Amino acid sequence: MFTRHLSGLLDEAERLHGDRPFLSDDHTFTYAQFATATRQLGGWLARRGVQRGDRAIILTRNRAEQALAAFATARVGGIFAVLHGAIREASLRRILGQVTPAVAFLDETTAHLAPAFGDVPIVWVGGGALPSNGARLEQLLAREPAECPPFPGVDVDPVCLIYTSGSTGAPRGVTLSHDNILFVVAAIQERLQYVPEDVVGVFLPLSFDYGLYQVFLAAQVGASVFIGGAELAGAALLATLERQRITVLPGVPTLFAALLKLLARGGTRTLRLRALTNTGAHLPLSHVEQLRQHLPGVSVFLMYGLTECKRVSILLPEELEAHPGSVGRALPGTEAMVVDEEGRVLPPGSVGELVLQGRHVALGYWQAPEETALRYRTHPRGLGRVLYSGDLFRMDAEGFLQFVGRRDFLLKCRGFRIHPLEIEEVACGLRGVAEAGVVQEPHVDRLHLFVTASASEDAAPLRETGLLDALASRLESYKMPDKVHWVPELPKTPNGKLDRAALAGLLGTGGRP
């Protein structure tokens, strides 16, 4: 009986698309070259004692070798964790205490973190004056045979840890099985319909699950992936899209806000884009309309997901007009329910917490049984295991979901419960506003709105007459911000999302970053 596992996805892609380009950064791997390299590295890992269930930490800049190390670890039944290259040593040490890795992958950008690994064997990726201990990947691939033992596990084995911030602020690893990943990749593909001719531009870190999943999505159909660093997501974005012939651009709202500024300044050049896919946070409807105006014929897919099950819903471009503000219907094989605080399923149109069931619901949090028990519970009708998302939603009679906001981000102000998105969405709908973020002044009923200006000159009248005047006719009085701060940019997390904690910190600086 054939056991499905993550590296089997790559093996099938090699069989069907061996000579096609797969991953590109400074150089390009074909599917055949990449699959061979994962067998070489997997064999090397196995010969050095890495076994089923052992962990590998992958800590480098954004590069193709991150995916190579991940697939090679999966081949031998190991569990990989791709960490962001900007991680602080204190956070790394907390993760290492949980994971106790059998091997680590570092490069010249993260070599300063090597002492935190102690005696853990290190594979050095790329060039640079790196320490002499461990093995250099380039030399390893030049001499090792492409001989790797067969996958030793089963499809429900854990294969990947995606690290996020826990409810206590400490890092926690969402634990995904081979089957979790393979199921949801197939379900996403049914909606997005990647094709072999696609070139997917990844400017998101591969430590962010949606960046990493682009590799899996491409492998499923034989498409190509260009892996870029964060520096290419700024002023160089349009030129990079053109030069790399990108057809699919996955991103988060901050990336698309930056893209809109560039489009307003420099036009569309000769872009080959056919699809944009948004995740990570709510993309204001006004930004969707601007993207469609600047890029006619390009499909915009609005989605909702969370690391604990990867993807929940996708709104097809042709559904946007009839369902504005929706993030689509649940993926095939996914049950979505909106429940009240007692766990009772609510009727259509009611606001409650989104609860999910399906094969993509993760195994839990690595070595965090109490947090796992809070989020992963019994189905409201006793039909197995479900994930409580922590997000507020409403669902209509046709099953279309509308994101209301994170429960954690709700504000209690002037006697009302307000979600920042209610204000941010309206602010972003004003011409001249690129991005917006709302925070509450601690212990008082004062709301502060931070905004950045778009590339056009439309922001000038707002500065002169006051953004508050423009908002007054669009917001209920209790939602009106007390003060507006125009800033050059909003603080971002390493994954490119709005950093609300850092935004709140700006209150103590008079609104200055």
Please indicate, yes or no, if residue 67 is contained in any of the structural domains: yes
Whether 421 is in a domain gets the answer yes
Kindly indicate the confidence band of residue 461, based on its pLDDT and cuts at 50, 70 and 90.
Answer: low
Q: Tell whether 53 and 173 lie within a shared domain.
A: yes
pLDDT of 227-252, one tens digit each?
998 888 888 899 999 999 999 999 98
Q: DSSP 3-state assignment of 428? A: helix
Do 418 and 426 form a contact (C-beta atoms < 8 A)? no
Residue 382 lies in a domain: yes
- Cβ pair 71, 11 in contact under 8 A: no
- DSSP readout, 110-139? TGGGGGGGTT--EEEESSSS--SSSEEHHH
> Distance between CA 493 and CA 102 in Å, rounded?
29
Domains: count for the chain: 3
Query: Model confidence over 349-405: pLDDT tens digits?
Result: 999 999 999 999 999 999 999 989 999 999 888 889 999 998 899 999 999 999 887
Q: Does residue 403 sit in the same domain as residue 416?
A: no
Pairing of strands 199-202, 224-227: parallel
**What integer pLDDT is reported at residue 492 of this predicted model?**
82
Choose the final residue of a domain: 364, 389, 407: 407
Per-residue confidence at 420, pLDDT binned at 50, 70, 90? confident
Residue 130 in this model has a pLDDT that exceeds 70: no
Domain boundary among 160, 177, 194: 177
* Mean pLDDT value across residues 83-96: 90
CA distances (Å), origin 340, targets 313, 472, 491: 20, 32, 33
Instruction: With respect to residue 149, please indicate whether it lies within any of the assigned structural domains.
Output: yes
| pLDDT band at residue 416 under the 50/70/90 scheme | low
CB contact set of 194 (below 8 Å; sequence gap of 6+): 200, 217, 218, 220, 221, 223, 248
Which alpha helices (H) appear in 193-311, and where do they start and end? 209-221, 237-243, 253-266, 285-294
Question: What backbone phi and psi angles, to 5 degrees, belong to 397?
Answer: -65, -20
Range of the domain at 476: 410-509
DSSP secondary structure string for all residues of 62-100: S-HHHHHHHHHHHHTT-EEEE--TT--HHHHHHHHHHH-
Please say which residue of 128, 146, 177 terminates a domain. Answer: 177
Any domain includes 487: yes
pLDDT in tens, 309-332: 999 999 999 999 999 989 999 999
d(CA 274, CA 115): 45
- Average pLDDT of the chain is 89
Q: Which residues contact 296 (CB under 8 A, 6 or more apart)?
A: none
Asked if residue 416 belongs to a domain, the reply is: yes
Question: Tokens 């609300």 map to which residue?
Answer: 500
Q: Is the pLDDT of residue 300 over 80?
A: yes
Residue 475 lies in a domain: yes
- Rg of the chain in Å (alpha carbons): 23
Question: pLDDT tens digits for 165-209?
Answer: 644 456 789 999 999 999 999 999 999 999 999 999 999 999 999
Q: Give the model's pLDDT for residue 168.
A: 45
Residues 14 and 162 in one domain: yes
Instruction: Tell me what pLDDT residue 35 has.
Output: 98
pLDDT tens digits along 92-124: 999 999 999 999 999 999 999 999 999 999 999
Structural domain contains residue 222? no
Looking at the structure, tell me whether residues 343 and 399 fall in a common domain: yes
Measured distance CA(407)–CA(390) in Å, rounded: 6
Q: What is the DSSP letter of 432?
A: T
pLDDT band of 127, cuts 50, 70, 90: confident
Distance CA 18, CA 39 (A): 15
Q: How far is CA 276 from the centre of its chain?
A: 14
Return the CATH number at 354. Answer: 2.30.38.10
CATH number at residue 474: 3.30.300.30
